[in-house]
Homo-oligomer: A and B are copies of this chain.
């Protein structure tokens, strides 16, 4: 069976192509009789409009491109899922570009999304080639990173998160607190680090940070964290910049005989569903992923309606208690 076209439906129903098109799009004047006739015919023929051809004529694809570093990372998986969920309800389809932490792939994806005439873009990658976004002439919303002056950024409050983590550890009695941070080339995690350092100093404590590379592998992290314990066996609090690092630190601490939360307290960052389910004992700073997605979509909607937008929206984070933290 060859692909059915709108014209086949028109012929079968004995009407014109325009009429069928009107029924499909519920546009213009239409008698109920015609609507019924055409709908019945479409159903009988099992006709499905060719979205490509529709896009060709309207110029609108109803397609939104999302670029993330890696959907296998629960944070971005959940973010993409939440974005997609909202957008789908609004009648958009989502083309997810999974940059796999690869700058070349990121830019190839960007090209492809543009070629595909996406109506807008939501960017959550680390964008090594910011220039490419400069001459992209369509609505863009960035998540947790700055791209260009007129591109609004949606993010959670990284400074407040870093401060909350640090102060919580201090309140629960830790004094030798170490921070581990995980930096991509553009160093966006710095707000958390700055907050940690400032908070430590304001309590007359000395900040110490260990850095891991966002693009580094598991072994690198294990090495850095072992070094941390070797050099600071008296550590009694760790603020990790993400939950998987926190889980790894927790494991290493166990192996080294630390008892949590008495000898050592650990607090992670992100608070994904996955970490909640798989590491329910881990205390963590929760980023409001679903809310970030909602706000991003709202901004996109405003942008598409040519409404004025804020330069950035910062959303609050919360503390999730866990067994790696002493009781209040």
A278-321 CB contact bits vs B (8 Å, 1 = yes)? 11111000000000000000000000000000000000000000
A254 → B minimal CB distance (Å): 8
**B278 to A243, Cβ gap below 8 A?**
yes
A314 → B minimal CB distance (Å): 24
Contact residues in B for A98 (Cβ distance below 8 Å):
80-81, 84-85, 88
A240 → B minimal CB distance (Å): 12
Complex alpha-carbon distance, A109 and B94, angstroms: 11
Complex alpha-carbon distance, A48 and B115, angstroms: 6
Spot the interface stretch: A26-34, A164-172, A244-252. Answer: A244-252
CB of A17 within 8 A of chain B? Answer: no
**B49 to A137, Cβ gap below 8 A?**
no
**A275 to B278, Cβ gap below 8 A?**
yes
A184-207 CB contact bits vs B (8 Å, 1 = yes)? 000000000000000000000000
**B81 to A71, Cβ gap below 8 A?**
yes
Copies of this chain, whole number: 2
CB of A155 within 8 A of chain B? Answer: no
CB of A22 within 8 A of chain B? Answer: no
**A72 to B81, Cβ gap below 8 A?**
yes
Spot the interface stretch: A53-61, A120-128, A256-264. Answer: A53-61
- The residue that A247 contacts in the complex, of B52, B55, B115, B277, with Cβ under 8 A, is B277
CB of A15 within 8 A of chain B? Answer: no
Query: Which residue of chain B has the shortest Cβ distance to A246 in the bound complex?
Result: B278
A116 → B minimal CB distance (Å): 5
CB of A77 within 8 A of chain B? Answer: yes
Complex alpha-carbon distance, A114 and B93, angstroms: 12
Among A51, A72, A96, A116, the one with the most B-chain Cβ atoms within 10 Å of its Cβ is: A72
Query: Which residue of chain B has the shortest Cβ distance to A53 in the bound complex?
Result: B56
**B251 to A281, Cβ gap below 8 A?**
yes
Complex alpha-carbon distance, A111 and B50, angstroms: 11
**A280 to B52, Cβ gap below 8 A?**
no
CB<8 Å pairs between A and B, sample of 6: A51-B115, A51-B117, A70-B81, A72-B74, A72-B82, A247-B280
